[in-house]
Amino acid sequence: MGNGAQAAGVGSAQALEKEALDHVWIHSAEWVRLAEQNGLRVFKSAHGSTLVDIHGREYLDGIAGLWVVNAGHGRTEIGEAMAAQAAQVAYVSSASYTSVPAVQLANVLAELTPGDLNRIFFCSGGSEAVESALKIAKQVQAMRGFPKRYKIIARRGSYHGMTFGAMSLTASRNETYFGPFMYGVIHVPSPNRYRNDFGLEGEEGDLMCAEYIRQEIENQGPETVAAVIGEPISTSNGVHVPSPKYWQRLREICDEYGVLLIMDEVINGFGRTGKMFATEHFGMQPDLMTMAKGITSGYAPLAAVAVSEKVFEIFTEKKDVALGHLLTFGGQAVAAAASLKNIEIIQREGLVQQSAEKGAYLLEQLNKLRSHPTVGDVRGLGLMCGVEVVRNKETKAKWGRDSQFLKRLDQLMNEKGMVTRVWDIVHFAPPLVVTYEEIDRMVQIFDEALTEVENEFASEIGS
């Protein structure tokens, strides 16, 4: 699939690539490497689970853009809904007003989210949602009479965004360029059944991670801790699926110490894990829940924080105090219209259930690749799966994210017609509309590419 017939107008395509290299700042890529290797890919169209570049080459989208395009590419009815809304009203100030689609969307989200997460604060993206949740949590604690509760407990390996506050929570933050970070952030162990920090297995290891959070609250002083934040299933930390008892115990701990619990559903939400929200797998409810990405399937920038009635009630008691926070494009009308149509599609086509069923099939097929000498572990839930690629299966030694082995594996998978994130974890998270045939092809591409790269680096495997 990857090397189809060249499309007409290659010359103009090459000129467009040159213009992109000259003017577009690709967010997380090394510009010199892109320029020297001509590695910049420009896409012109997409449909379902397939991306098409400006040369006419087709690629299976193995990561749904970036865990975003849940409803699939090429949904013209979402574009039509956006155009219709833009023709009516595109923007009103979120500081003092709202719009019809924003009201409708808030109502839909209040119905979809677990429990009493009924108050919706709109943002433009996942990082903004995390920033907003932090500020809400800190202000609520202060308004409740606890002004010294400013500390935030996050988890090792976590990813919560790249704005300053969100980056302060993110485990891979760049201290060299951006430190010192927001004061009062503490990182604790995260559930990891392949490399548990305590040498424990299964649920026992998960519960020890929860216990560690309890101990850290005690260590910091409960009167100083505002909130605990974590992804229900952390993608950046390797798609480890914890026991429901982990989250249930963490809920009990937060309640015991008066600490707010923030669950980051930016990646997990809107069907990705086989439930509308991953929180539903764990039989509990957070105090605040962030969401983005799949909320519009990438057709417009939008995010939100869902806040429980219990947390919001302080603002109803102190009516003269407003939240000290504002985002210009929060709840933008065209984006809200896109989200409403996107959610309608997800529900109408049963994409949440499809994610559960197809995800189970994907995981089954990936497990067949455990015979590879470099496949250390396979895990996931719904259409959010990952394969951990290792140098040595016995010692679980890593290749290193910048290793030539992983770079070559990424290159080969691209050449064979699939794009995804190839780090020490190879991610498989296609749009929820992916077909079983496309899943088979994705697994085949990975199998073939891994075999080739293992042969090339045979002398290094096992070391």
Residue 292 has pLDDT above 90, yes or no: yes
Residue 354 has pLDDT above 50, yes or no: yes
Q: Are residues 202 and 243 in contact, defined by beta-carbon separation less than 8 angstroms?
A: yes
Q: Are residues 395 and 195 in contact, defined by beta-carbon separation less than 8 angstroms?
A: no
266 and 372 share one domain: no
- By DSSP bridging, strand 303-307 and strand 288-291 are antiparallel
Q: Residue 208's pLDDT is what?
A: 98
The C-alpha atoms of residue 440 and residue 432 are separated, in whole angstroms, by 15
Among 28-42, 79-93, 261-275, whose mean pLDDT is lowest?
Answer: 28-42
Answer whether residue 5 is part of any domain. Answer: no
Q: Residue 36's pLDDT is what?
A: 61
Query: Hey, which bits of 54-174 come out as E strands?
Result: 58-61, 119-123, 151-155
Answer whether residue 4 is part of any domain. Answer: no
Answer whether residue 173 is part of any domain. Answer: yes
pLDDT by residue (tens digit) across 372-423?
A: 999 999 999 999 999 999 999 999 999 988 899 999 999 999 999 999 999 9
- Which structure tokens are listed for 411? 């290159």
103 and 223 share one domain: yes
The C-alpha atoms of residue 334 and residue 300 are separated, in whole angstroms, by 8
End residue of a domain, out of 348, 374, 402: 348
- Which structure tokens are listed for 365? 């097929």
Distances (CA, A) of 315 to 120, 320, 324, 405, 422: 14, 8, 12, 54, 45
Q: Residue 35's pLDDT is what?
A: 61
- In this prediction, residue 216 has a pLDDT band, given cuts at 50, 70 and 90, of very high
pLDDT by residue (tens digit) across 136-174?
A: 999 999 999 999 999 999 999 999 999 999 999 998 888
How many C-beta atoms lie closer than 10 Å to residue 148's C-beta?
A: 12
Answer whether residue 1 is part of any domain. Answer: no
209 and 295 share one domain: yes
Q: Mean pLDDT, to the nearest integer, of 342-349?
A: 98
341 and 384 share one domain: no
3-state SS class at 190: coil
94 and 124 share one domain: yes
166 and 69 share one domain: no
pLDDT by residue (tens digit) across 76-130?
A: 999 999 999 999 999 999 999 999 999 999 999 999 999 999 999 999 999 999 9
176 and 248 share one domain: yes
Domain count of the fold of the chain: 2
232 and 362 share one domain: no
Average pLDDT, rounded, for the chain: 94
366 and 341 share one domain: no
| Three state DSSP letters for 103-167 | HHHHHHHHHHCCCCCCEEEEECCHHHHHHHHHHHHHHHHHHCCCCCCCEEEEECCCCCCCCHHHH
Q: Residue 463's pLDDT is what?
A: 86
* Structural domain containing residue 442: 10-74+351-456
| CATH code where residue 425 lies | 3.90.1150.10
Residue 315 has pLDDT above 60, yes or no: yes
287 and 304 share one domain: yes
Share above pLDDT 70 across residues of the chain, in percent, rounded to a whole number: 95
Give one DSSP letter per residue of 361-400, joined into a string.
HHHHHHHGGGGSTTEEEEEESSS-EEEEEEEETTTTEE--
Residue 37 has pLDDT above 70, yes or no: no
The amino acid occupying position 438 is: E
Please count the CA atoms within 13 angstroms of the CA of 457 that sit on its side-chain side: 22
227: β partners: 152, 260
363 and 342 share one domain: no
- Which structure tokens are listed for 150? 């400013």
Q: Mean pLDDT, to the nearest integer, of 338-360?
A: 98
Residue 11 has pLDDT above 70, yes or no: no
Q: Residue 40's pLDDT is what?
A: 78
End residue of a domain, out of 348, 367, 395: 348
pLDDT by residue (tens digit) across 12-30?
A: 888 888 888 888 888 877 7
3-state SS class at 442: helix
Q: Please identify which residue in the block is written with the tokens 């002083």.
A: 221
Q: pTM of the prediction?
A: 0.94
Residues 6+ apart with CB under 8 A from 282: 232, 242, 244, 246, 247, 248
- In this prediction, residue 7 has a pLDDT band, given cuts at 50, 70 and 90, of very low
Q: Mean pLDDT, to the nearest integer, of 281-294?
A: 98
End residue of a domain, out of 290, 316, 348: 348
68 and 142 share one domain: no
